[in-house]
Amino acid sequence: MNISYDEVRRIYRLEKNTSKLVDVSEDFYNLLNEFIKEEKQRYLKSLKDFSIEEARDFANLKKMVEEIFLLRERKILNLALLASRGGEEITVVLAVPEKKMFSAVLDLLQKQRGLLTEMFQSNVPTKEASPQKTKSLETIKIQVSKDVPAFIGTDMKEYGPYKNTQKVELPFSIAKLFLERKLGERVSGVHHNM
């Protein structure tokens, strides 16, 4: 199956005018890529021939494809959000890269939802323990400053072994021990507050 300019226009119109994802083949992006390569060759030739119509067609194609990407990304994010909340079944056919995106986003959303569940399943903390409980849900990225053998953390999970200069993301309580015992240093950049 090949993609034509008319097919791109059809998908564009449907994506723009409906809230649902348009069914595409799993190899949609590969086919689209091949089509764009052909059109780009035509466009480059049109520059040599001073063909304004060919140049305009390619500019329109570029705008339509960019809009298709944007619309589909938004719809996939919404699908993942719905699926993470209610386990909604996905019946639309996604292209291979979109399946990967959907799975990755869904995984992140489920982990985030797990934090919420964990907060409400634990015992109600006292005012003094409240900040500590919240902090225990966070992770901190540190750079290990000494070789550390494998060990069992306070959460009964196995960690390590870690090598000197290795960067790892650890739960707050474990990272705090590393920092206090000078076994690692906090990695600067984007991280949770301590």
Q: What is the mean pLDDT of each run of 10 residues along the chain (194 residues)?
A: 88 92 90 92 81 82 94 91 74 84 88 79 51 60 89 78 91 86 80 42
Q: What pLDDT, on a 0 to 100 scale, did the predictor assign at position 53?
A: 80
Shared domain for 53 and 29, answered yes or no, is yes
What domain range includes position 171?
131-186
Number of domains, the chain: 2
Look at residue 126 and tell me if it is in a domain: no
Q: What is the pTM of this model?
A: 0.58
Cα 140 from Cα 190, distance rounded (Å): 10
- Which spans in the chain are helix H? 5-17, 28-49, 52-86, 96-121, 130-136, 172-180
Co-location of 21 and 72 in the same domain: yes
In a domain, 48, yes or no: yes
Q: Does residue 83 fall inside a structural domain?
A: yes
CATH code where residue 182 lies: 3.40.5.50
The Cα 180–Cα 67 span in angstroms is 51
